[in-house]
Chains A and B, each alone.
Chain A
């Protein structure tokens, strides 16, 4: 199974969202979603942890939610 790194993190993601793939597979903010599984591990630059300043989980979908108190656009 070859890896694909082509599923972009939605452009509306909070600008404090990070995952390893953003540093490694830099051609176009590719995520680490693979065929059939996703093991991307995110952190928030505000807390440097897997939970955001609002005590909620940092992840691909959650950090696109503009309703979150900590959300900051790009």
Chain B
């Protein structure tokens, strides 16, 4: 890990001042992702601003049906909050399945939303777009220098390489990594907004708009502006919601596919559906076809299956990850059935 300056503000205002200092900066909360990426030399902030000591950044507030979550709230606190479990089981379940007890004790909501993709090409220093090229040379950012590897001009590391964990949707472009925040899908499904405070003041955006598909090398997948700090997330409870995650290991592991749903019910029938997938596209992926498929129906094995099938119709898997289409179909089906309490797979 390279040397950096360190500040530990106790107010949001101070944090924003510290983040806005000269050079690159990074907000440090739980550190479970940032510190590791700094050790990998992938992220190199000149200044690290530790935000976990800011009291106003932490906490869960439930006022009527409005839920406000501080960005530095630890995942363990999300898991243990009784009212949140009642109102937003999709959020609780997603938080519960992140990492391990130690990680949930450290990691925060904001850190999870802003974590960098768990993608082995990115972690190996090739960025998010499948490798940067100069003519026939693939350049890898290494220890501050660029080292050439001779490749075909059309080479794309992910498309040509081991893409078992990569995206299966939105795969026409160069960004083929799979977005790996577990908390983004449930929050997007619940229509949550995020508050960002920066040098130019405060703004509120839908959580979905925290993410974009990078178009050029070096561009981040996060839409946070320089010096901006994610301070809280807010949503209105109401819809039935659930998260289902397919993971290989039962212990500490990443989701292969994660699906969150939020269903507004009209009697037994779904009047409005939100179906959001994680780990299948470079951004949290809204499965609109699945939403249409389930809307107006009673959730049953058959309708959930049909929604799962609809969800994958636009999938364009890569050479190795066709299996994730099956996982997506299953995850959508199971998330929908979980939302109505029919966990047929647990038998």
A and B touch in the complex (CB under 8 A): no
Chain B residues at the A interface, C-beta cutoff of 8 Å: none
Chain A residues at the B interface, C-beta cutoff of 8 Å: none
